[in-house]
Structure 1
Amino acid sequence: MEAWNRAAWGQLTIEEKQSAMQELLERLPAGFKWLRLERFERYGQSIETGVFIHEGSEYVYVPGDTVTLGRSEIHMYAKMSPVREAVIGALLVQRSPISAGWYECPLERLDPEEDEDVLEAIEEFRQGPHNSHEFSQYFRLERDGEEITVFLFDDSETFEEWCDTEVPEGFALPTEDEWEYLYGAGTRTLFPWGDEIDASMRLRHVPGSGEANAEAPYPLELPNGFGLCFPGDPYKKELVLTPDGITGKGGDGGCNLHGGHGPALGYLPTATAFRDPYESELAWEDLLDCLVYRRVVRL
């Protein structure tokens, strides 16, 4: 299959795109199924591309490009990746990220002896008024009506140990260059949507924001111009690869929001090029607590 760049991909007919996706399917890791062609459009960027599914998760085909990434501005509350040119290859990308540190555990899998403290906490939680409860880096309980869902914290001690189980053969994590390309979807503004946090935007951790749109979805969580969803949440970071190892992108674990800096600075970590200047101080389990990740297949 030809490695299309964005400009060339955009010139193909529907029939040519469908044919290319069928050819691609034969080269993918086992378990992928073809779903459809779909058009995505947001923030002035759009693409009609292929959608696949693997083990219940949708993946989209993103053609490659030669792009300018990074920011030259220096801010007292932020560190940005440097301005650079990057050649991004075509990718098949998981549409929505999933938690790296927390995984759902069916109640029937809890052992009456080994998980006695969790089971006791569940019964206490069931009788209480709260909708969520977390015991730091151990278990979390969520209530939806009468249903209680249990999440356990991953017990891996290193990134390499975690990666052995979460990134199977044929898959990879995006690099920082790939992530910035996927998140920004071709934009050169500070954020994918522009250069500032609009006061009318509905923000998950800012009470009263976007009151006129209180019933609408949080806009930062909607699919972008590539059809990809991101947390849009400074409390979360997305796990990516760097030349020196790994890092988290798209958030700072909520440090700016906790610092009382307000929405503009609190959501600055959702900027495309943002790098958390304090991340090196975190141990793996502390980083894992706020991490999400998505798999990609390099083509």
Structure 2
Amino acid sequence: MSNNFLDAVSNPTWKTLTNEMKVVVIQNILRHFVDPILEVMKITPVSYQFGGIKTDTFEIVIDGVEYVFIPGQKKCILGWDSGLSGLSGLDCSEERQELRYELKRYCNQQLISSLLMEEGFLDQDFSHIHLTTEYIDEKINASTSPLREVDIPALLVEKKPTFVGLKFIGHYNVISGQLSIAANQTEEIIQNIQELLLPEGQGNHFLREYPTVGRKSPLFIQQNQLNSDLFDCYIDDAVSFVELKRDIERHGFGLLTEDEWEYCCGASCRRLFKWGTQLKRQLFHKNISPLWKENMFGLMIANAEFGPEIIDDEHYTKGGWLEETHKAPIINLLPLSSYYRGEGIEDKEKELTPGYYCVRRVIRIDSNG
């Protein structure tokens, strides 16, 4: 691709283009970088504002999946080596008991890793550790990537990650009692879904509150974020990392690198979390919390209820499940940091535990396209 084109898909040039020119650029991206066998179904101009940052971009639906265009950016500062700097001392102490109780409530009501893993797999409790300022400072730096300056290419990024090793079988409607994909609707599946939604002994009445998530292998259900009367339903379909990557690359997609993921998460802002540095009690209130919202690029990334996200790196994953392992809320929330590093996948040939990891596809807009 020409240098003029690569300039046009990157900031600051992208910001100066007229709306008409941006449409032309997007159409050229789709023509040259998207496999022609894939159907481009919709192109929509959108604006997102989050954490004081605004982005004018496009959402593109490719084969029924939403992607967001993210302009390239040079000289991005990523990583974290500042420990507690910029954070409230109260947020980092054991005194934030009300936030700790909110996390406990969240873990009791929402999707967490222990629901998907075999019993005891993640049985970690460090609440006995005395949390000094030095300990927390070192823990933050040890859990995040190193400070560095990098260039990020323009990207087409899948808006929302998908669970790895789970096959979507349809939306279950609690009103009609039916699955949206009729081919998957069997008496056994419907019965298992209903047993998860209405456990024995709860009673059958119209005012009941359904759980937000349920698991009875090989079935997994989760309440739809946009419509509480719908549950997204999945069955186990385990794959290895090698199989997963091969399937993603089949039509010219790839995985985000660590640098790209961090930029897509926090836009290279010098703050530990994409929304800022403050930890408010409302953090776990779904209607107003940033943990369930689209970020400044329109992505659902480092959000609650998604596990470690697989990237193009053998050593690390990004993001992760929220668990109450320490008394200080800041440590328990580190998996939501823009720079957090999770453990990688050691055995690339072994089947991954269904639903524990998540993944998103990306198309890189660079000179190799």
Question: TM class, shorter-chain normalised?
Answer: 0.7 to 0.9
Give yes or no for contact 1:221–1:230 (8 Å, CA) kept in 2.
no
Which one of the candidate residues 235, 254, 276 is aligned to 1:152?
A: 235
- SS of structure 1 residue aligned to 2:55: strand
Structure number with the bigger relative contact order (C-alpha 8 A, sep ≥ 6) is: 2
1:51 offset after TM fit, Å?
1.9
Quote the residue 2:263 is aligned against.
181
Which structure features the higher share of strand residues?
Answer: 1
* Residues 240 and 147 of structure 1, relative CA distance in 2, 3 Å threshold: closer
Q: In structure 2, what is the Cα distance between the partners aligned to 1:22 and 1:44?
A: 29
Query: Matched residues in 2 for 1:149 and 1:135: separation?
Result: 14
Taking the aligned partners of 2:59 and 2:41, their CA distance within structure 1 comes to 9
- Deviations 1:246-269 (CA, angstroms, capped at 9, x unpaired): 632112x33xx2314353221122
Shift of 1:178: 0.5
What RMSD in Å do the two structures reach over aligned CA positions? 3.2
- For 1:265 and 1:5, locate their aligned partners in 2 and report how far apart those are by CA, in whole Å: 35
Distance in 1, matches of 2:232 and 2:18, equals: 46
Shift of 1:215: 6.8
Counterpart of 2:259 in 1: which secondary structure? helix
Cα deviation 1:116-144 (Å, max 9, x = unaligned): 7x6774575476346343235x3224579
1:272 aligned to which of 330, 335, 338: 338
> What is the identity percentage for the equivalent residue pairs of Structure 1 and Structure 2?
26
Q: Considering only CA atoms, is the larger Rg found in Structure 1 or Structure 2? A: 2
Which of 60, 63, 75 is 2:138 aligned to?
A: 75
- State the distance in 1 between where 2:281 and 2:222 align: 30
Report if the CA contact (8 A) 1:185-1:224 is conserved.
Answer: no
C-alpha separation in 1, matches of 2:338 and 2:67: 21
Per the alignment, do residues 152 and 177 of structure 1 end up closer, same or farther by CA in structure 2, a change over 3 Å counting?
Answer: same
Q: Paired residue for 1:11, among 9, 16, 26?
A: 16
Q: Which amino acid aligns with 2:280?
A: A
Q: Does 1:44 align with 2:52?
A: yes
In 1, distance between residues paired with 2:229 and 2:160? Answer: 27
Against the structure 1 CA distance between its residues 88 and 154, is the aligned structure 2 distance closer, same or farther, given a 3 Å change threshold? Answer: same
Does residue 133 of structure 1 match 2:199? Answer: no
Return the offset for 1:289: 3.3
The one-letter amino acid paired with 2:77 is: T
Q: Unmatched 5+ residue regions in structure 2?
A: 84-136, 171-178, 203-209
Partner of residue 285, structure 1: 352
Residue number among 61, 67, 78 corresponding to 1:59 in the alignment: 67
Compared CA separation, residues 70 and 234, structure 1 to 2 (3 A):
farther
What is the letter of the counterpart of residue 140 of structure 1? F
Is the 2:78–2:263 contact (alpha carbons within 8 Å) kept by the matching residues of 1? yes
Q: Are the counterparts in 2 of residues 233 and 267 from structure 1 also a CA contact under 8 Å?
A: no
2:293 match: 222
Q: 1:238 aligns with which of 300, 305, 309?
A: 309
Contact kept, 8 Å, 1:197 with 1:263, in 2: the verdict is: no
Residue 200 of structure 1, CA deviation:
3.7
By how many angstroms is 1:88 displaced?
A: 1.1
Q: TM-score, normalised by structure 1?
A: 0.78
| Equivalent-residue separation in structure 2 for 1:148 and 1:135 (angstroms) | 15
Give 1:23 deviation, angstroms: 2.0
1:103/1:8 Cα in 2 relative to 1: closer, same or farther (>3 Å)?
same
SS across alignment from 1:290: coil
Q: Distance in 1 between matches of 2:230 and 2:72?
A: 43
2:26 paired residue number? 21
Q: Is the 8 A contact 2:255 2:312 kept in 1?
A: yes
Distance 1:122 1:164, change over 3 A: same
Tell me the distance in 2 between the aligned counterparts of 1:222 and 1:285: 27
After superposition, the Cα gap between the structure-2 partners of 1:68 and 1:284, relative to the gap in structure 1 and judged at 3 Å, is: farther
SS for the counterpart of 2:139 is: coil
**Letter of the 1:225 counterpart:** M
Matched, 1:85 2:149: yes
What amino acid sits opposite 1:25 in the alignment? L
- CA–CA distance in structure 1, aligned partners of residues 198 and 275 of structure 2: 44
SS of residue paired to 1:93: strand
Distance 2:156 2:263 in 1: 13
Q: Deviations over 1:3-40 (max 9, x none)?
A: 13221111111121122112222122231244222221
Q: Which residue does the alignment assign to 2:316? A: 247
| CA positional deviation for 1:44 | 1.7
**Alpha-carbon shift at residue 227 of structure 1 (Å):** 1.6
Call closer, same or farther: CA 1:61–1:147 in 2, change over 3 Å: closer
Q: Is the 8 A contact 2:42 2:62 kept in 1?
A: no
Q: Say which SS state the counterpart of residue 17 (structure 2) adopts.
A: coil
SS at match of 2:282: coil
Matched-pair contact (CA < 8 Å) for 1:133–1:140: yes
- Contact kept in structure 2, 1:5 and 1:65, CA below 8 Å: yes
SS at match of 2:28: helix
